A and B are shown apart, each in its own frame.
Chain A
Amino acid sequence: MDVVVFTKFVPDPQGTPTLGPDHLLVRGADGALDPGDEYGLELALQLVEAEGGHVTAVSMGPEEALAGLQRALAMGADDGVLITDASLRGADALGTARVLAAALAGRTWDLAIAGVESTDGYTGTVPATIAELVDAAGISAVRRLERAEAGIRVERQVEAGFDVLECPLPAVITVTAGANEPRYPSLKGIMQAKQKPLERLGIEDLGLSADDVAPTQAVVEVTDAPSTAGGEVIVAGDDAVARIADLLAEAKVI
């Protein structure tokens, strides 16, 4: 089975995010492959290891995003596609979905996988938009997947617990964090990654124009939220427990 994994290069998830004067998130070299994407990549690698096929990592982002693709290749993806274009700076969910859908449309694939939502944007809608643009089935929040006669059989997280679904292929799915234990790139994997095919595309290579990816929304104002400070921090000792109990009593919940 041929699997495409969408991977995003995000600002360092452990760092403090900042906005630039243009209200866009500051993106620099100190980013990382989105940790939420590693579960989908691991799932793809396991599927292809079990039954053969090909894993392609696709990333849309600035030149720095190459580092994220290299990690995906080092983990075991067979090849990578980096879509970089000046017109994509500040792209919104629609523009992003159009670009990634166009990247899918140009190749043979059975399954496309993304994280449930990115760690920097939290939008969580792009995979569904891609699925509709390429006229494919889709399932979000998958935590387990196996092959079935119909295509795939998955467990999906829902509010009350989980559902089991069957889905034809091709399909676009999102995979939850915790679905598996993503592997660390081995030294051998890191060395091999440098030899693997890497395709670089602009939006014209995908048959798109700047109009297709122009943002449809704009940040017009950013303000500091009213601070929720005012708390007190104490070190556990004789009265810490009594202080918590006092607070519960003040709140009239005990």
Chain B
Amino acid sequence: MSAIWVYAPVISEGPHAAALELLTKARTLGDQVAAVALGPGASAAAEELGSHGASTVYAGDDAVYVEHPGRPAADALATLVDRHHPALILFPTTYDARDVAGRLQARTGSTLMSNATDLPARDRARTEIFGGAKVVDVELGGPEPRLVLVRPHSFPAEPAGGSAEVVPIDVDLADDRRGARIVERHEEAAAGPKLEEAPVVIAGGRGLGGPEAFGILDDLASAIGGAAVGASRAAVDAGWVPYSFQIGQTGKTVKPEVYLAVGISGALQHVVGMKGARRIVAINKDAEAPILKMADLGVVGDLFQIVPQLAEEIRRRRSAG
């Protein structure tokens, strides 16, 4: 039986966290699991990839993979596919991985499925549509390898204690085929806990009316302690907060204990990024806002009154408690 591969971009902290989730799933689908690790530090990442289920790690440590997004990684994968013929390749859902998978598809002529949330079998992927209202199973046909982009946090990342054989890869990519080159990097990360890890996420949307209003969310976050502030796409598109705040289809997926949606209507593309929250609280002035229907507690009212009062109430309870 041919192998299942996981595309594992390597960043400065090590392999992309979603790659470990995909390896954990891949080892339930077949015995031969390999990771294709690309980026400086790829060989060093093999230990962690191996412990999560990869028996082989094809490692490309060249900086070309992080300096030129998309094309060199797709070239490397296409070369490896020609040599080893995997049955299925799983990709984490990131802008870069989408580009790599898209380009690889042009080379292999194989099927590509986006936004998968599960893989019931090697030739079947599951996704959710209409903001999670419907579950759709898709049969993957055409020539191998089938390519599947999987949403983050679809599976837990669990080490199994194995180790991987490292196979270095050399890709001789001509300068004129490397494509776009990164010349500057700018970080816009928020202060405080990471959105994906915080037990409480407070997200603001169009209802905030402008960037200043995020200040009251920050204040509520500090009253709660350990809360992270995020945003809907509408607030990011309006330029009120950076893209790193964005929760939803094209942003981050969060699963906190409590999710507070403030001034967010609940567009489908937002809901897919937060519906895994254990408890959802929504504050919206529009009683018809879809987010209220999925909230455990929905409050119809003025966020500019409720949010500061809530911060005050929490501080009062804490000092009384």
Quick one: which of A160, A164, A234, A249 contacts B182, CB cutoff 8 A? A164
Establish whether residues A177 and B200, one from each chain, have CB atoms under 8 Å apart when the complex forms.
no
Residues of A within 8 A of B294 (CB): 228-229, 231
Establish whether residues A220 and B98, one from each chain, have CB atoms under 8 Å apart when the complex forms.
no
Establish whether residues B275 and A228, one from each chain, have CB atoms under 8 Å apart when the complex forms.
yes
Cβ-closest chain A residue relative to B75: A132
Residues of A within 8 A of B292 (CB): 231, 233
Quick one: which of B109, B129, B183, B278 contacts A165, CB cutoff 8 A? B183
Given contacts A125-B105, A216-B110, contact A223 B300 (CB under 8 A): no
Establish whether residues A159 and B136, one from each chain, have CB atoms under 8 Å apart when the complex forms.
no
Cβ-closest chain B residue relative to A16: B130
Q: Report how far A50 CA is from B113 CA in the complex, Å.
A: 39
Quick one: which of A19, A162, A233 contacts B188, CB cutoff 8 A? A162
Please tell me the size bucket of the interface on A. Answer: 35 or more
Given contacts A228-B275, A233-B295, A235-B300, contact A165 B134 (CB under 8 A): no
Establish whether residues A138 and B70, one from each chain, have CB atoms under 8 Å apart when the complex forms.
yes
Residues of A within 8 A of B184 (CB): 163-164
Q: Mark A102-125, 1 if CB is under 8 A from B, else 0.
A: 000000000000001100001111
Q: Report how far A221 CA is from B139 CA in the complex, Å.
A: 9
In A125-155, the 8 Å CB interface with B consists of: 125-133, 137-141, 153-154
Of the stretches A65-73, A80-88, A202-210, A238-246, the one at the interface is A238-246
The answer, yes or no, to whether A166 is at the interface (CB within 8 Å) is yes
Establish whether residues B136 and A222, one from each chain, have CB atoms under 8 Å apart when the complex forms.
yes
Establish whether residues A217 and B111, one from each chain, have CB atoms under 8 Å apart when the complex forms.
yes
Q: Report how far A23 CA is from B236 CA in the complex, Å.
A: 33
Establish whether residues B95 and A157, one from each chain, have CB atoms under 8 Å apart when the complex forms.
yes
The answer, yes or no, to whether A92 is at the interface (CB within 8 Å) is yes
> What's the nearest-Cβ distance from chain A to residue B283, in Å?
8
- Main SS class of interface, A: mixed
Q: Mark B268-312, 1 if CB is under 8 A from A, else 0.
A: 010000010011110100010000111111111110011001100
Cβ-closest chain B residue relative to A221: B137
In A36-53, the 8 Å CB interface with B consists of: none
Establish whether residues A93 and B105, one from each chain, have CB atoms under 8 Å apart when the complex forms.
yes
Residues of A within 8 A of B250 (CB): 116-117, 124
Residues of A within 8 A of B225 (CB): 254
The answer, yes or no, to whether A187 is at the interface (CB within 8 Å) is no
Establish whether residues A178 and B236, one from each chain, have CB atoms under 8 Å apart when the complex forms.
yes
Establish whether residues A231 and B293, one from each chain, have CB atoms under 8 Å apart when the complex forms.
yes
Given contacts A225-B132, A228-B294, A247-B281, contact A178 B239 (CB under 8 A): yes
Q: Mark B81-102, 1 if CB is under 8 A from A, else 0.
A: 0000000000000111011111
Q: Report how far A137 CA is from B317 CA in the complex, Å.
A: 57
Quick one: which of A126, A171, A220, A223 contacts B138, CB cutoff 8 A? A220
Q: Report how far A248 CA is from B220 CA in the complex, Å.
A: 12
Residues of A within 8 A of B281 (CB): 244, 247
Establish whether residues B111 and A241, one from each chain, have CB atoms under 8 Å apart when the complex forms.
no
Q: Report how far A82 CA is from B289 CA in the complex, Å.
A: 37
Can you list 9 contacts pairing A with B, beta carbon distance less than 8 Å?
Answer: A101-B106, A132-B106, A157-B243, A158-B185, A162-B242, A164-B182, A225-B134, A235-B301, A236-B305
Minimum-distance CB pairs A-B, first 3: A236-B301, A128-B102, A178-B237
